[in-house]
Each structure stands twice: as C-alpha cells, then as structure tokens.
Amino acid sequence: MLFRDFLKVAVMLFGGAGTALAIVAIAGASSEDSNLPIYMAVGWWVLAAAAGLWLGRRNVPSQQIGRLLAAARNTNQLPEVEPGAIVFNRLWPLAAVTLISGGVAFLLPQIPAIAAGYAIGVALTWRKQASAVEAIEGRDGVRFYFDRTPPFGAPKLLRTPGLRKIEPTQESTRAVEPL
C-alpha cells in the first residue's frame, strides 16, 4: 500500500471515529439531568479542532513522518499489495479505543467525549500529510510503500523508483519574440 494512501485512509478513519464517538457521547450525556457535560465536551472538541488545524496548517511532512521517509529502505521490487492488512495492523488501536469508548458511553459519557476530541485533533493534524508525501515523491521520483511489520512494531517504509515530476521553468515558457 502506498504510504500516502494510508495517510488519506487514516485521516478518514480518525475523522469517522471522532464523529461516531461524539454522537454516542452526546447520546449518553443527554440522559443526565444537566447539560454541563455536553457543553464541556463541545468545548473540548472545539479546542481539539483548533489545535489540529493549527498543527496541520503547513504543507510539509511532520518530523516523525520525515524521519520515517528518510529511513525508508531502497528496493526495486514492488511490495505485495495488502491494504486491508496494513490498515488493520497500523490502526487497530483506533478501532479498539473507538469500540471500548463507545461501549461505555451510556455509563460514562465523558470517556467517548474525550476520545472524540483526540480523534478529531489527529485527523485535522494529519490532513495535509498525504499531499506533502506526494510532493516529495514527485520531486525525488520515488514511491513510498509500507513494508511488512508486526502490529506492535514500528512502521517501516520501502522506497521504490517512480516517475519524476519535471516542471517547466520561466525561461522555457516565454514566448519566442518575432523577428
């Protein structure tokens, strides 16, 4: 699986988990006598969204993703395409937190409310990482794929040859003056 595709999928899954957890948190908190937990949860979500928007505002890879790209192993062979296994191996903690937090929503609605804020913040922080990785791939003429790693191990990438993007310069785009 291409690393940039994984990042796109991760953003969508974190956003979906945040939305689902927010819905069950509101449903669980609506059974209480006071609306204070709902107001506090919405305040936390606004704070998490603002932090995610601020941290994800630049079109450059984060330090962690930059280190992961720099440590990628060179290979000339395309890896096996296993998107389901890669997404599950890398994002199973998100599924576990979502299911566990959503399961206790009617007993303790604060737990899914807090987890929703974190999921929203991560989704907004990572929203431009895929395009930053794609820009690096186009500049360097490579593609980054996930390598097989265990679910508890650190992720590793493979660097394969790709197509280099050559952009025209200003001088080459100038019109030829008539004689």
Q: Where are the domains of the chain?
A: 3-165
Q: Model confidence over 11-40: pLDDT tens digits? A: 999 999 999 999 999 998 888 777 888 899
**Tokens standing for residue 6:** 């994984």
Helix axes 83-103, 3-29, angle to 10 degrees: 10
Mapping DSSP to helix (H, G, I), strand (E, B) and coil, where does residue 80 land? coil
Q: Mean pLDDT, to the nearest integer, of 136-149?
A: 90
Which backbone phi and psi does 166 adopt, to 5 degrees?
Answer: -110, 115
Residues making up the chain, counted from first to last: 179
pLDDT over 70 percentage in the chain? 91
Helix axes 129-140, 63-70, angle to 10 degrees: 30
Q: Model confidence over 68-120: pLDDT tens digits? A: 999 999 998 888 888 898 999 999 999 999 999 999 988 999 999 999 999 99
**pLDDT for residue 137 is more than 60:** yes
Query: Buried (b) or exposed (e) across 66-81, using 16+ Cβ within 10 A?
Result: eebbeebeeeeeebee
pLDDT over 90 percentage in the chain? 65
146, 155 contact by CB (below 8 A): yes
pLDDT reported for residue 116: 96
Please state whether the predicted TM-score (pTM) of the whole model is above 0.75. Answer: yes
pLDDT reported for residue 14: 97
- Smallest CA-to-CA distance from 48 within 127, 118, 131 is with 118
124: Cβ–Cβ under 8 A, 6 or more apart, which residues? 49, 52, 53, 55, 56
**pLDDT for residue 153 is more than 80:** yes
Q: Mean pLDDT, to the nearest integer, of 151-161?
A: 91
pLDDT reported for residue 170: 66
17, 126 contact by CB (below 8 A): no
